[in-house]
């Protein structure tokens, strides 16, 4: 899939994860297989948009993720997203803390609506 890469570095120059200090991202996981950093991808698609070879970088990343077990914290976020539509799991005192900051309680997304949003096929 990535055999036509020119090593131009355009994908790397626009990647927000690389800017935050992940060396050679996204090229590192493209060239040497799974690295923990692949889970830091923000799904912004910038790498794919700038690639002069029109390589499907996002799809390559997604395939790598699908074929591997995510780290525990990522798995927790995915489970929470699937269950309540929020990437950060709620704790027993979340709404209490929010009240202390003058914020409204968290309102949950209707499960049917949530599943229809998550459904990709």
Chain contacts with ligand SF4 (rule: CB under 6 A) = 5-11, 14-17, 26-27, 41-47, 50-53, 55, 57-58, 61
- At 38 the three-state DSSP class reads helix
**H or E stretch at 112:** helix 111-118
- Closer of 5 and 114 to ligand SF4 (Cβ): 5
- Closer of 33 and 89 to ligand SF4 (Cβ): 33
Residue 29: CB minimum distance to ligand SF4, A: 8
Region for residue 110 given its phi and psi (left: phi exceeds 0; alpha: psi -120 to 50; beta: otherwise): beta
Residue 75: CB minimum distance to ligand SF4, A: 19
- Closer of 19 and 98 to ligand SF4 (Cβ): 19
Residue 38: CB minimum distance to ligand SF4, A: 8
Helix axes 72-84, 111-118, angle to 10 degrees: 120
The percent helix, strand, coil of the chain (3-state, each to 5) is 50, 0, 50
- Closer of 44 and 109 to ligand SF4 (Cβ): 44
CA atoms within 13 A on the CB side of 15: 27
Residue 54: CB minimum distance to ligand SF4, A: 8
């Amino acid at each position: 899939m990535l055999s036509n890469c020119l090593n131009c570095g355009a994908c790397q120059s626009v990647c927000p994860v690389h800017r935050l200090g992940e060396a050679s991202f996204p090229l590192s996981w493209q060239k040497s297989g799974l690295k923990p950093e692949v889970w830091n991808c923000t799904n912004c698609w910038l790498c794919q948009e700038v690639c002069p070879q029109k390589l499907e970088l996002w799809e390559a990343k997604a395939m790598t993720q699908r074929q591997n077990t995510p780290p525990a914290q990522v798995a927790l976020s995915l489970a929470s997203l699937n269950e309540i539509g929020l990437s950060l799991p709620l704790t027993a005192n979340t709404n209490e803390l929010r009240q202390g900051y003058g914020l409204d309680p968290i309102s949950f997304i209707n499960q049917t609506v949530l599943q229809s949003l998550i459904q990709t096929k």
